[in-house]
Amino acid sequence: MTPSVKLGLAKDNDRNLLRVAQTVVPIMQKIESYQIQTGRLPEKLDDLGVQPSQYPRVSYKPESSYYALWIKLGWDPSLTFSSQDRSWTFDPGDGSPTKRIKLDVEQP
């Protein structure tokens, strides 16, 4: 991780965060394909055939019509994707405010 991310100075299309975000694109695609096919979100990633050991730092939280993916980046920092508004949020985990950032990853 770059020092800028460690200090909570994440910026749009930060290459390290972009690389992390790209690792969850396959999960996003599976979730959204499942939603199209069934008309609802999966209750858990296991419903998609995704084993937690494949993505040990990723947590999934379905809501009624959208979902969030939370990616642990280290001891405290995290990156969250919300399908509600297709946004990414970086949390430095040091008590400073979270920051919404733009990450141009391939999304379904």
Domain for residue 88, yes or no? yes
In this predicted structure, the answer to whether residue 1 has a pLDDT above a threshold of 50 is: no
Q: How far apart are CA 82 and CA 68, in angstroms?
A: 4
Q: Please state, as a whole number, how many other Cβ atoms lie within 10 Å of the Cβ of residue 93.
A: 16
Domain for residue 73, yes or no? yes
Mapped onto helix, strand or coil, the DSSP state of residue 88 is: strand
Mean pLDDT of 7-25: 85
Domain for residue 108, yes or no? no
Domain for residue 79, yes or no? yes
Domain for residue 45, yes or no? no
In this predicted structure, the answer to whether residue 33 has a pLDDT above a threshold of 70 is: yes
Domain tally, the chain = 1
> Of 98, 86, 96, 99, whose CA–CA distance to 25 is shortest?
86
Domain for residue 67, yes or no? yes
Q: How far apart are CA 70 and CA 81, in angstroms?
A: 7
Residue 8 has what pLDDT?
56
Q: Which domain holds residue 94?
A: 3-38+55-101
Domain for residue 107, yes or no? no
- In tens, the pLDDT along 67-100 reads 999 999 988 999 999 999 999 999 999 898 999 9
45 Cβ contact partners less than 8 Å away, ≥ 6 residues apart: 27, 51, 52, 55, 58, 60
Mean pLDDT of 30-35: 95
Domain for residue 68, yes or no? yes
Residue 5 has what pLDDT?
55
